[in-house]
């Protein structure tokens, strides 16, 4: 049995489909939602969302926000969310290097340090999600290529 999943950011509606299962990273750990799950509201952590739909699995990068499940509808309101195919790998790698460089500086204050750790985390998740997609694309190519 399917249920409706909407993923929304301040900028756009990222995803809106009927799905079988969604796995969401929350501050209390990962939660898996299936149709008829009990109602929940939880705070999203940075991580990857895994969506199962008609035997296909897709991943998305997500950071910050809330997930709500009520009346067989899941709504994710996120600070940022990207489908694997939307991720700009070059940009994520640059963000990772920038954050690493900041963290290696001795004079960094606590707030800047926390910001850099969060930016590093976001970049690593984006790289991981984008790599999952390239692995999937590789697997789909004919053996002779």
What is the number of alpha carbons within 13 Å of residue 131 lying toward its C-beta?
A: 9
For residue 144, the surrounding DSSP H or E stretch is: none
* Residue 119 engages ligand ATP in binding (rule: CB under 6 A): yes
The distance of closest approach from Cβ of residue 131 to ligand ATP in the complex, given in angstroms and rounded to an integer, is 12
* Residue 91 engages ligand ATP in binding (rule: CB under 6 A): yes
Exposed (0-12), middle (13-18) or buried (19+): which is 74, by Cβ within 10 Å? buried
The distance of closest approach from Cβ of residue 105 to ligand ATP in the complex, given in angstroms and rounded to an integer, is 17
- Lookup: tokens for 72: 């067989």
11, 28, 109, 145: which one contacts ligand ATP (CB under 6 A)? 11
- Lookup: tokens for 41: 């509201």
95, 116, 120, 129: which one contacts ligand ATP (CB under 6 A)? 95
Binding stretches for ligand ATP (CB under 6 A)? 11, 63, 80, 82, 86-88, 91-92, 95, 119, 122, 126
């Amino acid at each position: 049995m399917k249920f409706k999943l909407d993923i929304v950011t301040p900028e756009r509606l990222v995803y809106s489909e009927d799905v079988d299962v969604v796995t969401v990273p929350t501050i209390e750990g990962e939660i898996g939602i299936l149709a008829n799950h009990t109602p929940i509201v939880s705070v999203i952590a940075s991580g990857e969302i895994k969506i199962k739909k008609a035997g296909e699995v897709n991943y998305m990068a997500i950071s910050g926000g809330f997930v709500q499940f009520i009346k067989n509808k899941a709504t994710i309101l996120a600070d940022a969310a990207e489908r694997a195919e939307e991720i700009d790998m070059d940009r994520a790698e640059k963000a990772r290097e920038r954050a690493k460089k900041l963290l290696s500086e001795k004079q960094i204050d606590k707030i800047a340090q926390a910001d850099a750790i969060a930016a590093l985390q976001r970049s690593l998740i984006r790289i991981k999600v984008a790599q999952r997609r390239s692995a999937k694309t590789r697997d789909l190519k004919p053996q002779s290529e």
